[in-house]
Amino acid sequence: MGEVVGAGLIAHVPTIVLPEEVRRELNHGQDSTLVSGLHQLRREVFDTLDYDTVVVLDSHWATTVEFVVTAQSRRHGLFTSEELPRGMSQRPYDFQGDPELAHLIASKADRHGTWITAIEDDHLPIFYATTNVWEFLGDGLPDKKWISIGVCQTAEGEDNLRLGRALGDAIAESDRKVLLIASGALSHTFWPLRQLRQHEAAGIEHIFTPEAAAADAERIDWFKNGDHARVLETMAQFYRFRPEARFGHYLMMIGALGEGDCTATGRQYGEYENSVGTGQAHLWFDRPADGFPRPRRTHLEPLTAEQPSMHDAGVAGS
């Protein structure tokens, strides 16, 4: 029987892979604590825990008609970002995938009233929400498997939780020990281009609004106290501050960990920092002594003649 042995809300901002001298130039001579935080997280968690597979819940990979999980046996190549090619250019990545777990996750879609497809195509694009965190937390650990699940841009909060429940069910049914990474930010509004270069330093005074910084700080405090129920109960209020990917990366993660039943306390690595207006932090949730709560069951209404099954629904694109 498999289990989640740890999980984290992790920042993937491009700044972390810039040369140190460039990071310091942008930050008044100081380095980003997000970098030292990732190094510490690697030493204390990824180099020491017993685990088989890392599942990245990738807030930069936006699908449309379904959730998609990578199912290649290996992913490797050179990554250049279409968004920031000057700062992330031809960065090498090379890691094993976990096709067996990917297909098991996809097989749980109907049970939870959602759509999940495992894709093995070697030409499937990869995104820096995966590669940046792999560079810090996975590079040099060739026996560890990494897979990614994209956020679905048409998904609502309940859909993200259902994906998480399916993920948790699949892990429990497998023989895998898994780490989950919700790769993404908290509040996520960028400064306009003509103002942006005045706000590249890490100080929280550069967060887009003081109210957004306060909302982030409130949730970081709840994470540290293990109050995931409160985070979930106040999602409507948090949406005012445009969390990255509508906080789908976190919602998928907490769906796998029991949602409001989860009381795992967060340990922060590095400080809360700005990235051109957005709120960034690393929070790690250790496995409780008795394990994370089992994912909740999804309540499904009986199918009617007007309500086709998942397999009959088909797909459409735009």
**96-136 tens-digit pLDDT:** 999 999 999 999 999 999 999 999 999 999 999 999 999 99
Does some domain include residue 226?
yes
Residue 14 and residue 81 in contact, taking contact as beta carbons nearer than 8 Å: yes
What is the domain count for the chain?
1
Residue 185 and residue 13 in contact, taking contact as beta carbons nearer than 8 Å: yes
Domain range holding 18? 3-286
Does some domain include residue 158?
yes
Name the residue type at position 60: H
Residue 280 and residue 34 in contact, taking contact as beta carbons nearer than 8 Å: yes
pLDDT tops 90 at residue 222: yes
**161-213 tens-digit pLDDT:** 999 999 999 999 999 999 999 999 999 999 999 999 999 999 999 999 999 99
Cα gap 284→10, rounded to integer Å: 8
Q: Is 181 helix (H, G, I), strand (E, B) or coil?
A: strand
pLDDT tops 60 at residue 305: no
Does some domain include residue 296?
no
* CB atoms near residue 289 (< 10 Å): 5
Does some domain include residue 64?
yes
Q: Is 261 helix (H, G, I), strand (E, B) or coil?
A: helix
Cα gap 67→59, rounded to integer Å: 12
Does some domain include residue 175?
yes
**16-42 tens-digit pLDDT:** 999 999 999 999 999 999 999 999 999
Does some domain include residue 293?
no
Does some domain include residue 231?
yes
Q: For the domain that residue 272 is a member of, what is the CATH number? A: 3.40.830.10
pLDDT tops 50 at residue 304: no
Closest Cα partner for 226 from 248, 204, 247, 257? 257
**41-99 tens-digit pLDDT:** 999 999 999 999 999 999 999 999 999 999 999 999 999 999 999 999 999 999 999 99
- Number of separate helices (H) and strands (E) present in the chain: 10, 10
Query: Residue 301: what pLDDT?
Result: 64
- pTM score, two decimals? 0.95
Q: Is 255 helix (H, G, I), strand (E, B) or coil?
A: helix
Query: Residue 171: what pLDDT?
Result: 98
pLDDT tops 80 at residue 313: no
Question: Phi and psi at residue 250, in whole multiples of 5°?
Answer: -70, -45
Does some domain include residue 101?
yes
pLDDT averaged over the chain?
95
pLDDT tops 80 at residue 317: no
